Structure formats: C-alpha cells, structure tokens
C-alpha cells in the first residue's frame, strides 16, 4: 500500500486544477474603422467564433472607430503589447515585412473567389509568418473590399482624366510607386483625415473600396466613382505574440480555429456588401463609371513596371504572384 502526505495531495490537486481550469481571458481588440465597415464585421465574426469555440474561456472586447488609435497607432500597439489584438490593413506592415505588398499588387487577383483561395494559400501563410519576427502573429487574412477611384469634381473615364489629381493613398511605398506611374499626384494621409480633406478640396480624389465610401460617408462629397478595381484591401487578424504564447494550448487552439473559420464567409460577405453600396450610390445619383476596355488596358500598362519591380524584389512576392496568376477567375 502506498501512502501520500497531505502536502503531496494538496500539490497534486493544485496542479490538476491549474491544468484543467485555466482562468478565462479577455482580449482587447482595437481597429480604425466605423462599425459599418467590413473590418469591424471581421472583428465581430472573430469574437463570436472564439467565444463559441472556447465556451467562453476566451472573450474579446472590441474597440472600434479609432478608440485605441488610427491604423498606425493600432499596429504599433499590438507590436509592443499595449493592445492585444487588431484587425488592421496589411499595408500598414509593409515597412516591417515588405513581402506583404504581394497582397496588393495591382491587377493580380481578379475577384473575391480568387481572393479567398489566396488568403488560405501556403504562399500567403509564408508571408504572414514573417510578422512573428516583430512580436506579432497573423492568424488569418480578411478583406475590406476591392479598391476603386472616387473623385469630388467629376468622374474619371480615361487615364488622361486622372493626370495630376491630388489623390489620397495609404502611407505605403508601393502605393506611391503605383499611382505615380498612373500619373496622379499621390498624397499619403492617415485614414481618419481623409473625409475633411475631400470636403475642403485638399484632395481631388481617393483610391478606395466601396465599403469605405459607405462607412465613412464619403458619398456626401463624391461626384463620381470609377470601378477601376486595382486591388483588394486585405487586413490581418493579428495578436501580440507574447500575449498569445501566454495562453493555454486550448485557448490558443480556439483562437486559431476561429480565425480560420471566418475567412471565407467574411470575404464573400464583402462581395454582397459591394452590391448594396452600388445600389445606394445609384439612389444618390452619384455617377458610377465602368471603365472601357481601353481604359483598363491603359491602367494595366501603367501598373505593369511597378508590379514587375516588386515581384523581382522578393521571392515571397514572386511566389504569391505566380500562384494568383494560376487561378481561373470565377464566372
């Protein structure tokens, strides 16, 4: 017969309780958009999924609409651990990981169905994993919508119409290169400053997704939207690495599963939302221009040297581009 001391039994009980009943955690997730935007919808989908999968062991508090800072501040907050999580534009991380420019090479991904495939691809994962070198874990990709060209004077119908227009672009070197090649005057500007700049005439135009035109109420100042469809606007579902590694294996698994689960439904929901925004713009009598084949060809020719430059600069970008070009567009 074996005998155990009270101390041994107590220690065993404490150990067992620690393993079986880890304390629930609450993660703070901040982002830079209003609640009508797909980024907020991504955050909500993630929150609902992880709380369901973990049976409430992982909870998420969402801080939308720049409560914890604009795009840059939220990005830095997650990197340095002052914010647990974000859903944030991939372009905000191109300075840290230049390979993320692959996700927005102009003209590369033809439709939402193809974006779903690329978001789940090994080529995307190889790029996302680079963020771990900067204290962050990219759990998955989501999307804010295909980007187009909105003006506050008159709609553009040719490359010549775009020449010299002072156009807001996100602060990213590739966007500057791409839009300089087109011939606009690209103007980097924080997302939260765009509406007032359009309203006052500081900007002539913005390259933007339809969902942002809706959520930021840019339709109040728009005089035309041209459906140039140059690239998607992906975001990372991102968590601070140390915060993630401090969780239990079960909590980590629930977070990963939730992030994977929402990818396809979130992206395809944006496609449906685009159609609703288009209808709203028509109701507001805002001209929506479908580019002619000639205009599309002009844009593609302008972007082509920039695409080649970035593909040649990074084997991860080249691999992502090759995979994207192998896809058959949805009918």
pLDDT tens by residue, 73-132: 999 999 999 999 999 999 999 999 999 999 999 999 999 999 999 999 999 999 999 999
Range of weakest confidence among 4-13, 32-41, 235-244, 290-299: 4-13
Would you state the pLDDT for residue 101?
Answer: 98
Res. 11: pLDDT tops 80:
no
Would you state the pLDDT for residue 2?
Answer: 41
Res. 16: pLDDT tops 80:
no
Would you state the pLDDT for residue 3?
Answer: 41
CA nearest to 309, candidates 89, 90, 91, 98? 98
Would you state the pLDDT for residue 155?
Answer: 96
Non-local CB neighbours of 74 within 8 Å, separated by 6+ positions: 30, 31, 32, 68, 83, 86, 88
Question: Residue 331 — pLDDT band, cuts 50, 70, 90?
Answer: low
Q: Is the dihedral of CA 63, 64, 67, 71 positive or negative?
A: positive
With H, G, I as helix, E, B as strand and everything else as coil, classify residue 68.
coil
Helix ranges, the chain (H): 6-20, 38-53, 71-80, 112-119, 122-128, 159-162, 173-182, 194-200, 210-215, 241-245, 249-261, 263-283, 293-313, 315-325
281 in Cβ contact with 150 (< 8 Å): no
Query: pLDDT tens, 171-194?
Result: 999 999 999 999 999 999 999 999
Residue range(s) in the chain whose domain bears CATH number 3.40.190.170: 23-143+234-264, 147-231+274-324
Rounded to an integer, what distance in angstroms lies between the CA atom of residue 201 and that of residue 221? Answer: 10
Rounded to an integer, what distance in angstroms lies between the CA atom of residue 184 and that of residue 178? Answer: 10
Cα-Cα-Cα-Cα torsion 12, 18, 20, 23, nearest 10 degrees, comes to: 160
Rounded to an integer, what distance in angstroms lies between the CA atom of residue 75 and that of residue 236? Answer: 10
Kindly report the average pLDDT of the chain as a whole number.
94
Would you state the pLDDT for residue 22?
Answer: 75
Residues forming a β-bridge with 137: 239
Determine which helix (DSSP H) or strand (DSSP E) holds 34, and give its type and residue range: none
183 in Cβ contact with 171 (< 8 Å): no
Question: Residue 1 — pLDDT band, cuts 50, 70, 90?
Answer: very low
Rounded to an integer, what distance in angstroms lies between the CA atom of residue 216 and that of residue 25? Answer: 32
In the chain the first and final C-alpha atoms are separated, in Å, by 74
What's the whole-number mean pLDDT along residues 212-240?
97
330 backbone dihedrals φ, ψ, rounded to 5°:
-70, 150
Would you state the pLDDT for residue 19?
Answer: 41
Would you state the pLDDT for residue 21?
Answer: 60
Res. 15: pLDDT tops 50:
no
213 in Cβ contact with 274 (< 8 Å): no
Which class would CATH give 147-231+274-324? alpha beta
Quote the pTM value: 0.91
Would you state the pLDDT for residue 159?
Answer: 97
- CA distances from residue 44 to 86, 120, 220 in whole angstroms, order as listed: 12, 20, 27
Q: Is 183 left (phi over 0), alpha (psi -120 to 50) or beta?
A: left
CATH number of 23-143+234-264: 3.40.190.170
Rounded to an integer, what distance in angstroms lies between the CA atom of residue 236 and that of residue 227? Answer: 25
């Amino acid at each position: 017969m074996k005998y155990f001391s009270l101390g041994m039994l107590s220690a065993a009980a404490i150990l067992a309780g620690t393993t079986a009943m880890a304390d629930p955690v609450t993660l703070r997730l901040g982002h830079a958009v209003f609640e009508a935007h797909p980024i907020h919808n991504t955050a909500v989908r993630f929150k609902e999924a992880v709380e369901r999968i973990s049976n409430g062991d992982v909870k998420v508090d969402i801080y939308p609409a720049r409560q914890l800072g604009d795009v840059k501040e939220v990005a830095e907050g997650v990197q340095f651990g002052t914010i647990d999580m974000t859903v944030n534009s991939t372009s905000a991380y191109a300075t840290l990981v230049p390979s993320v420019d692959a996700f927005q090479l102009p003209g590369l991904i033809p439709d939402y169905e193809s974006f779903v495939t690329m978001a789940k691809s090994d080529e995307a994962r190889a790029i996302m994993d680079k963020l771990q070198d900067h204290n962050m874990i990219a759990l998955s990709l989501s999307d804010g919508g295909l980007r187009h060209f909105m003006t506050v004077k008159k709609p553009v119908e040719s490359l010549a119409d775009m020449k010299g227009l002072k156009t807001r672009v996100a602060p990213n070197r590739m966007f500057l290169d791409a839009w300089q090649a087109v011939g606009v005057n690209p103007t980097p500007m924080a997302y939260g400053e765009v509406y007032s700049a359009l309203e006052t005439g500081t900007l002539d135009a913005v390259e933007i997704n339809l969902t942002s035109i809706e959520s930021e109420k840019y339709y109040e100042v728009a005089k035309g939207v041209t459906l140039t469809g140059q690239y998607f606007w992906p975001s990372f579902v991102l968590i601070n690495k140390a915060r993630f590694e401090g969780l239990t294996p079960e909590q980590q698994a629930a977070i990963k599963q939730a992030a994977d689960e929402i990818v396809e439904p979130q992206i395809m929901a944006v496609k449906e939302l685009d159609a609703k925004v288009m209808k709203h713009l028509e109701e507001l009598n805002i001209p929506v221009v479908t580019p002619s084949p000639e205009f599309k060809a002009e844009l593609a020719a302008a972007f082509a040297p920039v695409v080649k430059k970035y593909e040649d600069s990074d084997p991860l970008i080249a691999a992502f581009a090759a995979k994207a070009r192998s896809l058959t567009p949805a009918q």
